[in-house]
Structure 1
């Protein structure tokens, strides 16, 4: 797949302290990439390097196939970003702030401002000065500003900070809409792992500036299947099929017509076919995975154990 962003052995020192250490990371065109890590792990520094606000001490960063240099600004019109808490002209209205960005970027699409205000559900307050906005409203306005020019790449640092559950859902759906309808590539850092799990295609994990893992959500699920759950009214016959036909022993029949199979690996199709062959009606069958949060803490715990050896 085409790489739209590539970091190769990137290291960053700030005040003599190594805050990012030999990070190699890639983001493919058209995907949503979740950048995960504890507070102070280096996520924001990486975001700042991607937007040319901070220069790497060592290593290279390519964007749109070209290396980012101190003088590289031509790619900025192709990328939108929100790093840390967004700032605005507080006395100006939400709409006026977006108009200033549009003029600065030379982007004069007549419907663009109306669209992004509607996307972030601020159209009803667009003529109010920003200093009257709550933290969550400013966060949504910052996302609207980043999306204004319909960029090829969106770089968003903790975009869900300060949002209530309704706002979080709105933002998640916006990400998916931008990705699916406009083909926008997104890099999103967040500590809300349950949300990242809902929209990310791939994730990268960083801790104390050290790159720990990069994996697709599809691979993560395939490698971390905990059990297969079967819902059937004919539980006794289903257990017979599992034990005598498929030679499985590590399963448990629950009281609610549910069976959990713990040793099936990727054999869901085989189980389904065996049940059909033996006339066992299945109401539902599905794989249950470790959550992203469980996987994230597993990766951190493994790193901690290695450090203690």
Structure 2
């Protein structure tokens, strides 16, 4: 069984004289929630259009469910559900009528899937209410229902929480977690709203100016953003000995400039400074440091130099 739902190899797309995507090598493991992060215009939507067959690459290849031949890609794309640039809804129809139209368009046999899918997204009790009278959150859930028709194994969502109020965001987040954890659906979410993605994603890809800068797991990201106490004293070697002896920890690092990063006891700065002072050390700098997730992504996207 193939471990990856999606892999791209040097995937590039050029529009006129502009490279929208440049040699992107992306991989998404089965069962993950992959957050594709970048500013508007970074190349997220172009990448999604290539994956879903709405556009063709200039160079490079796409592999879906282990298949990369163009004829095979057409077939395996039936295993994908998508919401791109907002769900296509009929405002004067009910939720079930909307699903019926899309069921027929997709050639899915039997109507039993409609009630099942509405129940899955929490819209089973909307009855004869027209979609034009739905809240934005309900419309997004209906869009998800349309994407879920046919029981896809891979869900691709382009900016699914744009414009939602806080309650709508919470609803969509809970639904996506349920789809992933209970139904085993792999999810790719494109978004520039990092504060929401970090509550959801298991893996991340950072895209900027058409280039994939980095891929990492949530665990790797948390390690990179680890909090620590930044300590600078008049005698760093003695301070290291004091920390190791007094706090029985080696979870620190002496930097080339003589400063110390103490990863343990971040929540007890008073005790650490007191121990150092009691040993006669002069504290020159002492502060908690470390990036939060938003700062990390901002630095990666904003601080990259292209040669």
| Cα 1:245–1:177 shift into 2, 3 Å | closer
**Counterpart residue number, 2:188:** 187
Tell me the distance in 2 between the aligned counterparts of 1:245 and 1:199: 35
| 191-200 vs 43-52, greater mean Cα deviation | 191-200
- Measured after TM superposition, the shift of residue 241 of structure 1 is 7.9
**Counterpart residue number, 2:292:** 291
Q: Give the total of aligned pairs.
A: 266
What's the secondary structure of 2:178's corresponding residue? helix
CA contact (8 A) 1:139 1:161 kept: no
| 136-145 vs 30-39, greater mean Cα deviation | 136-145
Q: Structure 1, residues 186-244: CA drift from partner, whole Å, max 9, x if none?
A: 0011122111111111100111111111111101112221138xxxxxxxxxxx98762
Alignment match of 2:262 (pick from 245, 261, 264): 264
Query: Superposition pairs for residues 40-51 of structure 1, below 5 Å?
Result: 40-51=41-52
| Cα 1:132–1:222 shift into 2, 3 Å | same
**Counterpart residue number, 1:157:** 158
**Counterpart residue number, 1:244:** 246
Q: Structure 1, residues 84-130: CA drift from partner, whole Å, max 9, x if none?
A: 12222333222111122223334346653334323434334353333
CA contact (8 A) 1:139 1:162 kept: no
What's the secondary structure of 1:143's corresponding residue? helix
Tell me the distance in 2 between the aligned counterparts of 1:126 and 1:64: 37
Tell me the distance in 2 between the aligned counterparts of 1:174 and 1:245: 44
**Counterpart residue number, 1:125:** 126
- Measured after TM superposition, the shift of residue 299 of structure 1 is 0.5
CA contact (8 A) 1:82 1:142 kept: yes
**Counterpart residue number, 1:274:** none
CA contact (8 A) 2:251 2:262 kept: no
Gaps of 5+ in 2: 230-241, 253-259, 269-288
**Counterpart residue number, 1:22:** 23
| Cα 1:249–1:150 shift into 2, 3 Å | closer
CA contact (8 A) 2:80 2:153 kept: yes
| Cα 1:156–1:247 shift into 2, 3 Å | closer
Report whether the alignment pairs 1:204 with 2:205: yes
**Counterpart residue number, 2:138:** 137
Tell me the distance in 2 between the aligned counterparts of 1:188 and 1:249: 35
Give the TM-score normalised by the residue count of structure 1: 0.76
**Counterpart residue number, 1:215:** 216
Q: Structure 1, residues 133-189: CA drift from partner, whole Å, max 9, x if none?
A: 444432221111112322110011011112221111111111111111111110011
Give the TM-score normalised by the residue count of structure 2: 0.77
**Counterpart residue number, 1:54:** 55
RMSD of the TM alignment (CA)?
3.0
Q: Structure 1, residues 3-40: CA drift from partner, whole Å, max 9, x if none?
A: 11001101101233211111110000111100000001
Tell me the distance in 1 between the aligned counterparts of 2:112 and 2:175: 17
Tell me the distance in 2 between the aligned counterparts of 1:173 and 1:112: 22
